[in-house]
Amino acid sequence: MCNLKDLDDQESVPAGVYVPISVPVHLLNTDSSITCRAYHLTNQPQTDLHAGGGQEIIPHDRQPSQTYLKVLVKAATESGVPDEYIEWLRGIKHNGKQVPAMEAKLELDKVQLS
């Protein structure tokens, strides 16, 4: 894997905000699995998102940025992820934060969110 230090720095691993973990991901198109790097929040909030209430109970500071959500939607679309999942991604509540320079660099201007 390349650029792990850059990814870890971006996710605030050195500051202890996240810890990198390995997660098996099943590939539907090849019926095989690969190991992917993910980041686990070290200080888990007390809000129980599985208790019900849907996205409305997600605190503002735990919502993804609008730019990040656009990146997810674009990547899912380009990767051939099923339309139902892409629509679900588009509907995730975001915190409204944008990074215009990154959106321009990644050509996110045509990515639509709900």
pLDDT tens-digit readout, 82-113? 999 999 999 999 999 999 999 999 999 999 99
Domain ranges of the chain: 16-105
Contacts of 62 (CB under 8 A, 6+ apart): 45, 47
pLDDT on residue 58: 77
Which candidate, 83, 61, 62, places its Cα nearest to that of 73?
83
For domain 16-105, give the CATH superfamily. Gamma-glutamyl cyclotransferase-like (3.10.490.10)
pLDDT tens-digit readout, 45-89? 777 766 666 667 777 878 889 999 999 999 999 998 999 999 999
**pTM of full prediction above 0.95:** no
Rg (CA), the chain: 16
